Each structure stands twice: as C-alpha cells, then as structure tokens.
Amino acid sequence: MFYTESLEKLVKELGKFPGIGPRSAQKLAFHIMKTPKEEARELAQAIIDIKEKTRYCSICNNLSEGERCAICVDPSRDKNIICVVEEPNDINAIEKTGTYKGTYHVLMGAISPLDGICPDDLKIEELIERISAGAKEVILATNPDTEGEATAMYLGKIIKPLEIKVTRIARGIPVGGNIEYTDQATLAKAMEKRGEL
C-alpha cells in the first residue's frame, strides 16, 4: 500500500458515497490533498454543519434548521393541500417552478419490494394523520418510475376512503424519469394538469 494512513481513510470514507467507486474516491481524495487547507476545512465544516444544524421538519420531513421547515411555518402556504414526494430534494424541484402554494409531505423513499422497502418503512402513517387532521387535496408527486407508481397507487387506495380529493401529477415527466431532474416547465405543467385518482 502506497497510501498514508490518513489518505487511505479518506479514500475509504469517500467510497461510501452513492455512485462513488474506488477510482473516483481516489481521485477525490487526491483532489482534496491538493486543495488549499482553508478550502478543505470549509468542506469538512460544511459536512459537520449539515449533521449538526440541519434536520427533518417535524411536520413534513423537509430539510430544516428549526423544528418546522420554512414552508410549514409560512402563513401564505395553503395547509389544506399536501403534495406528497419521495425525497426532500423533490420539494426543491417543485418549488423552483414557483407555481405551487400548498405544503408537502416527504415519504423518505418509495415502496420497493426488491429493495425490501415496504409501506411501513415510509412516512405514510404521519401523512394519514395530517390528512385526518384536515386536508382538502393530496397531490401524489412520486416519481413516474415503477416504485413511484406503485407508491402512488398504494397511497391512492388508502387515502380515497378518507373522502378527500387525491390527484396524481400528469404525465409529461418521462416514464422512468425523476422529479428531481425534470425541467421546471415540464414539472409545472405536470402539477397544473394533475388528474384525480
């Protein structure tokens, strides 16, 4: 092994990131090695800060620096409309369209029997509680891939008996696509043209 102990450790830690194989981990580690000390320190501090200062909103599971996220505490947001998404990053994508004025609920994933993710692993109970506490419409904005569709179908089935409007965002997002990577115009259209389940 030609690595120093600390370099080996950094490569090992970077290799734990999704999509980062051993070669990329090495490349990143060497890049950090060449980076000015102050910059490297800022990166390390940013990692510490996100763990210490950022948490999940107690209502919707969005990222937040307080108990409730900026959207949940915003009095101008319509609390009667809940848009259900898979990941906090999807909120970001929908917010960028600038057209949605309701609130969100992050499931923290999607139903995927192949990956061993069942409804109990997601924040579904919390969603039902919110709906029962008073909501007029639930928009299912899970990804249009197999897992996202399965999740939307499952949610549709359990929310419908609660007698509120359940809508699914319209097609336009490519099948197998991802909300996070959908352009703003397409996503805005999909939200606008949502259909009742």
Question: For Zn ion, which is the closer residue by CB, 29 or 59?
Answer: 59
Indicate the residue among 57 and 166 with the shorter CB distance to Zn ion. Answer: 57
Q: Please, what is the minimum distance in Å from the beta carbon of residue 60 to Zn ion?
A: 3
CB of 61 to Zn ion, least distance (A): 7
Please, what's the b/e burial string for 75-113 (b: 16 or more CB within 10 A of its CB; e: otherwise)? eebebebbbbbbbbebbebbeebeebebbbbbbbbbbbe
Q: What is the 3-state secondary structure (H, E, C) of 18-87?
A: CCCCHHHHHHHHHHHHHCCHHHHHHHHHHHHHHHHHCEECCCCCCEECCCCCHHHHCCCCEEEEEEEECC
The reply to whether 106 sits near Zn ion by the rule CB under 5 A is no
Q: Does 85 bind Zn ion (CB under 5 A)?
A: no
Nearer to Zn ion, 88 or 148 (CB): 88
Between 7 and 63, whose beta carbon lies closer to Zn ion? 63
Decide if 79 contacts 103 (C-beta within 8 A): yes
CB closer to Zn ion, 66 vs 195: 66
Angle at 100 between CA 122 and CA 69, to 5 degrees: 55
Residue 140 as a binder of Zn ion (CB under 5 A): the answer is no
Site stretch for Zn ion (CB under 5 A), options 10-18, 49-57, 123-131, 166-174? 49-57
Give the contact letters, 51-70, x = binds to Zn ion (CB under 5 A), - = no.
------x-xx-x------x-
Contacts with Zn ion by CB under 5 A lie at 57, 59-60, 62, 69, 72
